[in-house]
A and B are shown apart, each in its own frame.
Chain A
Amino acid sequence: MAEKKVGSRREFLGKASALRVKMVILGSSGVGKSSLALRFSKDEFKNSSPTVGCAYLTQVVCLHDVTLRFEIWDTAGQEKYHSVTPLYYRGAHAALVVYDISKRESFVRAQLWLRELEKHYIPGETVVGLVGNKTDLPNIRQVSLQEGQSLAESKGLVFMETSAKSGEQTSELLLNIAHRVNQRTMDKDRDLTEWREAECVELYQGNRPHPLTACCPIGP
């Protein structure tokens, strides 16, 4: 069940099918969206990372019977780009709305993001997660755990508090999302088998995995 390292993952790929999952990360500027993405993909933190960019990253997650290839899309969080962000989450399977637990205004903005997402998406299509980041700063916390939890519950979202800096709870979060996405796809397959081909989800059933199916970072 647990996430495994890339090397040992490859032999599983052969038999299992790989789903391509597009996940966008939304949230104000400076809440740690890209750090979170970097942690998902490479288990690194920004200031010591050799990665050139962390705006587009990939990670393969193995569940017991399927392999999911996550494509993690970072978005620009500055307020002035708010009007163009819907372009990013078109066709996304999962969306994470991130806020900074030490900044109340980022939590307010997160609620705006959620409302925006609801406008564009039919519930049940996209897996939405609410993430309170920077649990490594408990001393200056401004948003309590309960606040986040109750907001998520009221909208039926996945909720988790993480720390991209220490890596706390990040892999658990990714696994949780992976399970939900997988569940959604299986439900959809059962209900509307004919839809599968029009979907962006593609089934890998090749005998051999392509080398790029493992995680491929951007940048040389």
Chain B
Amino acid sequence: MRALIVDDARTIRMILGKMLRELGFECEEAGDGQEAWETLQKGSEFDIALVDWNMPVMDGFALVQTVRADASYNDMKIMMVTTESEMANVVKAIEAGANEYVMKPFTKDVILEKLKILGID
């Protein structure tokens, strides 16, 4: 399994990376939406992208819209992992094509159970 972790906070990338590697994932990291999109366009394939909302250059919501506009990434699941917790934003992200949503703070169990929901475990 391969995961792309997209967050401008290095600490969050480290925490998520450690959790996912312990679960047997290979991980790549990107510091914003633009960097993530470039990684995807280089042809790297991922089973899941874990995406923060508020990031410089290209935010997570714009990344979801960009990825979902390109059918070649239809198989990749997207899980928002963000401090944005307003119901309106949750709905917005899911309507844009995110498959799951985690509100920070989170624990390892939260991530693990969300992966189970998505059938990636």
To the question of whether A and B form a pair in one complex, the answer is no
Which residues of A pack against B, CB within 8 Å?
Answer: none
